[in-house]
Amino acid sequence: MELMEILGFAGALLIGLVLGLIGGGGSILTVPILVYVLEEDPVRATAYSLFIVGLSALVGAIRNAQKGMVDFKTGVVFAIPALLAVFLTRKFLIPAIPEHLFTVGGFEFTKNIAIMVFFAIIMLAAAIAMIRGRKDSGEETEVKYNYPMILLEGSVVGVVTGIVGAGGGFLIIPALVLLAKLPMKKAVATSLMIIAVKSLIGFLGDLGNVDIDWTFLGSFSALAVVGIFLGIYLNKFIDGSKLKKAFGWFVLLMGIYIILKETVFAV
Protein backbone atom coordinates (compact mmCIF):
# COMPACT_ATOMS: atom_id res chain seq x y z
CA MET A 1 0.00 0.00 0.00
CA GLU A 2 1.38 3.41 -1.01
CA LEU A 3 1.94 6.27 1.44
CA MET A 4 -0.97 8.34 0.06
CA GLU A 5 -3.33 5.36 0.44
CA ILE A 6 -2.21 4.93 4.06
CA LEU A 7 -2.79 8.65 4.68
CA GLY A 8 -6.19 8.44 2.99
CA PHE A 9 -7.39 5.58 5.18
CA ALA A 10 -5.93 7.33 8.24
CA GLY A 11 -8.10 10.26 7.12
CA ALA A 12 -11.16 7.98 7.24
CA LEU A 13 -10.36 7.24 10.89
CA LEU A 14 -9.93 11.01 11.48
CA ILE A 15 -13.37 11.75 9.95
CA GLY A 16 -15.05 9.36 12.38
CA LEU A 17 -12.92 10.57 15.28
CA VAL A 18 -14.02 14.19 14.76
CA LEU A 19 -17.67 13.13 14.39
CA GLY A 20 -17.47 11.15 17.63
CA LEU A 21 -15.67 13.93 19.52
CA ILE A 22 -17.74 16.97 18.52
CA GLY A 23 -20.95 15.42 17.19
CA GLY A 24 -20.62 16.75 13.63
CA GLY A 25 -18.40 18.50 11.15
CA GLY A 26 -16.08 15.59 10.45
CA SER A 27 -17.89 14.72 7.23
CA ILE A 28 -16.72 18.03 5.75
CA LEU A 29 -13.25 16.41 5.53
CA THR A 30 -14.45 13.45 3.44
CA VAL A 31 -14.39 15.02 -0.03
CA PRO A 32 -11.00 16.80 0.39
CA ILE A 33 -9.41 13.55 1.63
CA LEU A 34 -10.89 11.55 -1.25
CA VAL A 35 -9.95 14.15 -3.90
CA TYR A 36 -6.56 15.47 -2.74
CA VAL A 37 -5.12 12.47 -0.88
CA LEU A 38 -6.65 9.49 -2.69
CA GLU A 39 -7.01 11.36 -6.04
CA GLU A 40 -10.62 10.42 -6.64
CA ASP A 41 -12.69 12.27 -9.24
CA PRO A 42 -14.81 14.97 -7.48
CA VAL A 43 -18.12 13.52 -8.75
CA ARG A 44 -17.23 10.04 -7.47
CA ALA A 45 -15.83 11.56 -4.27
CA THR A 46 -19.11 13.34 -3.52
CA ALA A 47 -20.99 10.08 -4.18
CA TYR A 48 -18.72 8.16 -1.80
CA SER A 49 -19.07 10.98 0.72
CA LEU A 50 -22.87 10.65 0.71
CA PHE A 51 -22.57 6.98 1.68
CA ILE A 52 -19.88 7.60 4.33
CA VAL A 53 -21.76 10.60 5.79
CA GLY A 54 -25.06 8.69 5.73
CA LEU A 55 -23.60 5.65 7.48
CA SER A 56 -21.80 7.78 10.08
CA ALA A 57 -24.91 9.85 10.80
CA LEU A 58 -26.98 6.67 11.08
CA VAL A 59 -24.68 5.37 13.84
CA GLY A 60 -25.10 8.68 15.71
CA ALA A 61 -28.86 8.75 15.12
CA ILE A 62 -29.32 5.24 16.54
CA ARG A 63 -27.37 6.20 19.66
CA ASN A 64 -29.48 9.34 20.12
CA ALA A 65 -32.73 7.46 19.49
CA GLN A 66 -31.82 5.04 22.27
CA LYS A 67 -31.57 8.06 24.58
CA GLY A 68 -34.95 9.39 23.42
CA MET A 69 -33.38 12.52 21.92
CA VAL A 70 -34.71 12.15 18.33
CA ASP A 71 -38.00 13.87 17.40
CA PHE A 72 -39.10 11.45 14.68
CA LYS A 73 -42.14 13.42 13.46
CA THR A 74 -40.07 16.58 12.98
CA GLY A 75 -37.33 14.53 11.34
CA VAL A 76 -39.76 13.07 8.79
CA VAL A 77 -41.31 16.50 8.03
CA PHE A 78 -37.84 17.94 7.30
CA ALA A 79 -36.44 14.84 5.60
CA ILE A 80 -39.10 14.44 2.88
CA PRO A 81 -38.26 17.59 0.84
CA ALA A 82 -34.53 17.14 1.57
CA LEU A 83 -34.34 13.52 0.40
CA LEU A 84 -36.36 14.27 -2.74
CA ALA A 85 -34.05 17.18 -3.57
CA VAL A 86 -30.83 15.26 -2.93
CA PHE A 87 -31.96 12.23 -4.95
CA LEU A 88 -33.02 14.36 -7.93
CA THR A 89 -29.78 16.38 -7.69
CA ARG A 90 -27.59 13.26 -7.85
CA LYS A 91 -29.74 11.46 -10.42
CA PHE A 92 -30.34 14.32 -12.86
CA LEU A 93 -28.63 17.65 -11.99
CA ILE A 94 -25.02 16.45 -11.49
CA PRO A 95 -24.98 14.33 -14.71
CA ALA A 96 -26.54 17.28 -16.62
CA ILE A 97 -23.74 19.73 -15.72
CA PRO A 98 -21.39 19.99 -18.74
CA GLU A 99 -17.75 18.98 -18.22
CA HIS A 100 -16.52 22.36 -19.50
CA LEU A 101 -18.39 25.43 -18.27
CA PHE A 102 -16.47 28.51 -19.47
CA THR A 103 -13.01 29.90 -20.16
CA VAL A 104 -11.56 33.13 -18.75
CA GLY A 105 -8.20 34.37 -20.03
CA GLY A 106 -6.97 30.89 -20.86
CA PHE A 107 -8.25 29.39 -17.57
CA GLU A 108 -10.83 26.68 -18.19
CA PHE A 109 -13.52 26.44 -15.49
CA THR A 110 -14.62 22.80 -15.50
CA LYS A 111 -17.35 20.82 -13.76
CA ASN A 112 -14.83 19.34 -11.31
CA ILE A 113 -13.46 22.79 -10.41
CA ALA A 114 -17.00 24.14 -9.96
CA ILE A 115 -17.89 21.28 -7.56
CA MET A 116 -14.73 21.80 -5.49
CA VAL A 117 -15.12 25.62 -5.32
CA PHE A 118 -18.78 25.27 -4.30
CA PHE A 119 -17.72 22.67 -1.73
CA ALA A 120 -15.09 25.08 -0.36
CA ILE A 121 -17.73 27.81 0.02
CA ILE A 122 -19.88 25.37 2.02
CA MET A 123 -16.79 24.56 4.13
CA LEU A 124 -16.34 28.25 4.91
CA ALA A 125 -19.99 28.55 6.01
CA ALA A 126 -19.70 25.40 8.17
CA ALA A 127 -16.44 26.68 9.68
CA ILE A 128 -18.03 30.00 10.67
CA ALA A 129 -20.95 28.11 12.28
CA MET A 130 -18.50 25.96 14.29
CA ILE A 131 -16.35 28.93 15.35
CA ARG A 132 -19.36 30.99 16.47
CA GLY A 133 -20.89 28.04 18.34
CA ARG A 134 -24.51 27.60 19.32
CA LYS A 135 -26.47 28.82 22.30
CA ASP A 136 -29.05 26.57 23.88
CA SER A 137 -31.69 27.99 26.18
CA GLY A 138 -32.57 24.43 27.17
CA GLU A 139 -36.26 25.31 27.25
CA GLU A 140 -38.80 22.80 26.00
CA THR A 141 -41.33 24.54 23.76
CA GLU A 142 -44.28 23.29 21.77
CA VAL A 143 -43.13 22.03 18.38
CA LYS A 144 -44.69 24.09 15.58
CA TYR A 145 -44.09 23.69 11.87
CA ASN A 146 -43.67 26.50 9.36
CA TYR A 147 -44.41 24.21 6.40
CA PRO A 148 -43.63 26.59 3.49
CA MET A 149 -40.24 27.47 5.02
CA ILE A 150 -39.55 23.81 5.91
CA LEU A 151 -40.23 22.84 2.28
CA LEU A 152 -37.89 25.56 1.02
CA GLU A 153 -35.15 24.85 3.61
CA GLY A 154 -35.33 21.10 3.06
CA SER A 155 -35.07 21.53 -0.71
CA VAL A 156 -32.08 23.88 -0.42
CA VAL A 157 -30.29 21.54 2.02
CA GLY A 158 -31.03 18.60 -0.28
CA VAL A 159 -29.55 20.33 -3.33
CA VAL A 160 -26.46 21.44 -1.37
CA THR A 161 -25.97 17.92 0.01
CA GLY A 162 -26.43 16.46 -3.46
CA ILE A 163 -23.78 18.70 -5.00
CA VAL A 164 -21.06 18.55 -2.33
CA GLY A 165 -21.78 15.26 -0.53
CA ALA A 166 -21.68 16.85 2.95
CA GLY A 167 -24.33 16.41 5.63
CA GLY A 168 -25.34 20.06 5.94
CA GLY A 169 -25.94 19.89 9.68
CA PHE A 170 -24.92 23.55 10.03
CA LEU A 171 -27.97 24.38 7.84
CA ILE A 172 -30.39 21.82 9.28
CA ILE A 173 -29.86 22.50 13.00
CA PRO A 174 -30.71 26.24 12.90
CA ALA A 175 -33.76 25.37 10.76
CA LEU A 176 -35.00 22.83 13.33
CA VAL A 177 -34.56 25.39 16.12
CA LEU A 178 -36.13 28.32 14.25
CA LEU A 179 -38.76 26.61 12.08
CA ALA A 180 -39.85 23.76 14.38
CA LYS A 181 -38.95 25.32 17.76
CA LEU A 182 -36.91 22.29 18.87
CA PRO A 183 -34.48 22.70 21.79
CA MET A 184 -30.86 22.59 20.64
CA LYS A 185 -29.96 19.13 21.94
CA LYS A 186 -32.97 17.56 20.24
CA ALA A 187 -32.24 19.55 17.08
CA VAL A 188 -28.69 18.16 16.95
CA ALA A 189 -29.92 14.59 17.54
CA THR A 190 -32.77 14.88 15.03
CA SER A 191 -30.49 16.41 12.40
CA LEU A 192 -28.40 13.22 12.40
CA MET A 193 -31.48 11.20 11.47
CA ILE A 194 -32.28 13.62 8.63
CA ILE A 195 -28.67 13.59 7.41
CA ALA A 196 -28.57 9.77 7.46
CA VAL A 197 -31.79 9.38 5.46
CA LYS A 198 -31.14 12.05 2.83
CA SER A 199 -27.47 11.14 2.33
CA LEU A 200 -28.17 7.44 1.80
CA ILE A 201 -31.15 8.19 -0.48
CA GLY A 202 -28.96 10.65 -2.39
CA PHE A 203 -26.33 7.94 -2.82
CA LEU A 204 -28.97 5.72 -4.44
CA GLY A 205 -29.34 8.43 -7.10
CA ASP A 206 -25.70 7.77 -8.08
CA LEU A 207 -26.17 4.07 -8.77
CA GLY A 208 -25.97 3.68 -12.52
CA ASN A 209 -24.37 7.13 -12.98
CA VAL A 210 -21.14 6.57 -11.01
CA ASP A 211 -18.80 3.58 -11.04
CA ILE A 212 -18.65 2.47 -7.37
CA ASP A 213 -15.69 0.54 -5.95
CA TRP A 214 -17.56 -1.26 -3.17
CA THR A 215 -14.45 -2.83 -1.62
CA PHE A 216 -12.79 0.56 -1.21
CA LEU A 217 -16.00 2.27 -0.04
CA GLY A 218 -16.70 -0.49 2.50
CA SER A 219 -13.17 -0.32 3.93
CA PHE A 220 -13.15 3.49 4.13
CA SER A 221 -16.61 3.59 5.75
CA ALA A 222 -15.70 0.87 8.28
CA LEU A 223 -12.66 2.90 9.40
CA ALA A 224 -14.84 6.01 9.75
CA VAL A 225 -17.28 4.09 12.00
CA VAL A 226 -14.37 2.79 14.12
CA GLY A 227 -13.24 6.40 14.44
CA ILE A 228 -16.71 7.44 15.63
CA PHE A 229 -16.68 4.96 18.51
CA LEU A 230 -13.11 5.98 19.39
CA GLY A 231 -14.20 9.63 19.37
CA ILE A 232 -17.22 8.87 21.56
CA TYR A 233 -14.89 7.23 24.09
CA LEU A 234 -12.36 10.09 24.02
CA ASN A 235 -15.19 12.62 24.36
CA LYS A 236 -15.34 11.73 28.07
CA PHE A 237 -11.90 13.25 28.57
CA ILE A 238 -11.87 16.16 26.07
CA ASP A 239 -13.88 19.42 26.03
CA GLY A 240 -15.86 19.10 22.78
CA SER A 241 -16.86 22.80 22.59
CA LYS A 242 -13.25 24.03 22.58
CA LEU A 243 -12.27 21.33 20.12
CA LYS A 244 -15.13 22.33 17.80
CA LYS A 245 -13.88 25.94 17.57
CA ALA A 246 -10.33 24.77 16.85
CA PHE A 247 -11.62 22.39 14.20
CA GLY A 248 -13.72 25.24 12.76
CA TRP A 249 -10.56 27.29 12.19
CA PHE A 250 -8.92 24.28 10.53
CA VAL A 251 -11.91 23.85 8.18
CA LEU A 252 -11.86 27.60 7.42
CA LEU A 253 -8.21 27.43 6.36
CA MET A 254 -8.85 24.28 4.32
CA GLY A 255 -11.77 25.95 2.52
CA ILE A 256 -9.57 28.93 1.59
CA TYR A 257 -6.82 26.55 0.44
CA ILE A 258 -9.23 24.63 -1.85
CA ILE A 259 -10.50 27.84 -3.47
CA LEU A 260 -6.93 29.03 -4.12
CA LYS A 261 -5.76 25.61 -5.34
CA GLU A 262 -8.64 25.23 -7.79
CA THR A 263 -8.44 28.80 -9.16
CA VAL A 264 -5.34 30.94 -8.52
CA PHE A 265 -2.77 28.10 -8.22
CA ALA A 266 -4.31 26.16 -11.09
CA VAL A 267 -3.61 28.91 -13.62
Bigger pLDDT: 226 vs 133: 226
Q: What pLDDT does 1 receive?
A: 64
Average pLDDT over all residues of the chain: 85
Q: What pLDDT does 129 receive?
A: 85
Q: What pLDDT does 40 receive?
A: 92
3-state secondary structure 63-111: HHHHCCCCCHHHHHHHHHHHHHHHHHHHHHHHHHCCCEEEEECCEEEEH
Are the CB atoms for 157 and 171 separated by under 8 Å? yes
Q: What pLDDT does 179 receive?
A: 80
Cβ-in-10-Å burial (0-12, 13-18, 19+) of 207 comes to exposed
Q: How confident is the model at residue 140 (pLDDT cuts 50, 70, 90)?
A: low
In this structure, the chain runs to a length of 267
Q: Which of 107-116, 171-180, 202-211 has the lowest mean pLDDT?
A: 171-180
Per-residue pLDDT tens over the stretch 190-201: 888 888 888 888
Backbone angles phi, psi at 101, to 5 degrees: -95, -60
Are the CB atoms for 122 and 234 separated by under 8 Å? no
Is a pLDDT exceeding 60 seen at residue 9? yes
Domain ranges of the chain: 3-262
- CA neighbor of 163 nearest in space, from 94, 113, 98, 114: 94
pTM here?
Answer: 0.82
Q: What pLDDT does 23 receive?
A: 66
Per-residue pLDDT tens over the stretch 15-70: 888 877 776 666 788 989 999 999 999 989 999 998 998 898 898 889 888 988 88
Distance CA 224, CA 28 (A): 13
Q: What pLDDT does 106 receive?
A: 81
Distance CA 203, CA 174 (A): 25
Mean pLDDT of 125-144: 71
